[in-house]
Structure 1
Amino acid sequence: MTAFTGWPADATAFLAEIEADNTREFWTANAHRHAEAVHGPMRALAAVLEPEFGPLRVLRPHRNRRFLPTAPPYRTDTGGVARSPGGAALTVVLSATALTTAAGHWAFDTGQLRRYRVAVLEETGEELPALLAGHVVDGSRSLRGVPRGFTGGHERIELLRLLGLQVVTSRPAGPWLSTPEPLGHVRAAWRAAAPVVAWLDRHVGPADPVPPRPRPAP
């Protein structure tokens, strides 16, 4: 296992450059920089985290544009994703400006959302505000109004508005990224989120299986 010693200063510089020039020509001339300064350290970080949090899928630098044909062809960040036993995501992402972690579900599917709201309404939901205390909750996936069938006066209405639940941390990029410190930062963030992840695993669980597409008749 390769030790994680941090990202060299060229990592965030490269990510900023690929954001400014997201072309095949730039990538072809500079792919070696990504491998050495960005992807290599990310794989090393994933390997060190794996014994505690399970395998991390390291993001590929090339975007899959099958469903996002207008997206830039090359990622302007790097990161990895692990999964809890109940399907919650543990993510770490390095961009040109910050190192960000998240734990939970960015977006619930229909079954997860139903199970989540039931759990929030029942006695199990009483403990969730305390579990979230001290965390930053990502509110980007949240209803502006009130879910159908509820009133704005419900004591846990802000939780019921959420269409996904994950807690996040973000620390600005700087010289600290070139030290082993990011490893401790990610570990601490994911460990602190463990009670929230455990609640989600118990009461929400993984996404519902996607049924296979029917094959066209011969």
Structure 2
Amino acid sequence: MSLAPRQRAQAIAARRGGPHTLAVPLALRLAAKIAERPWEAFLSDPTQLANGLGDLLDAVRPDGVPVTVPGVLTQDREARLGTALEATRRLRVTVGDNAVLLAVLGPGPGLVDTVRAFLDAGVDGVVLEGDVDAADARTIGNVTRFHRAMAHVLGTGNSGLLGAEAVPLDAPVAETGLVLTDGEVPDGTPLPLVEDWVAGVHG
């Protein structure tokens, strides 16, 4: 019997138990479209954010969803961070072990504190995009291990953290480990295309 997504995330985080796959499309904008909310309003209302991501999980059955993506926290940072953290807490209760929650973060001030806040709220992993300070990467690796959560990087760099695979939405291939779309999924993307990507990543 295959493991639930959250158990697979913990196995990947601990680097044990053989190959596991988690297919997580970066479909936050698509979730806003499903929720029929303007993007800015979606990012400022934890109820809408949690409901939209829940609807995305129901619609395409990925292994998880991003609760934030790079660029979200560059404007109205404190308000949007509070929204994402509250949505994470609500989703953690509703999805249980059946989906992983990821915080996908770009470089910036207070990165370690932001990671800690998302871990405390209940994410199963963080993905760092762009150049990450080596000392920050070490600290993030330590705090995620304490939480039995994953820590990955997107792109090259010698951070000491695991690399996440980036697979094109329109050309899915079977992969193992944490697999993301190679960019944010546009809000007008047909849901069957995302379903096909999830299935293709699992092979």
> Does the pair score TM above 0.5?
no
Q: Tell which structure's C-alpha radius of gyration is larger.
A: 1
Q: TM-score normalized by structure 2?
A: 0.30
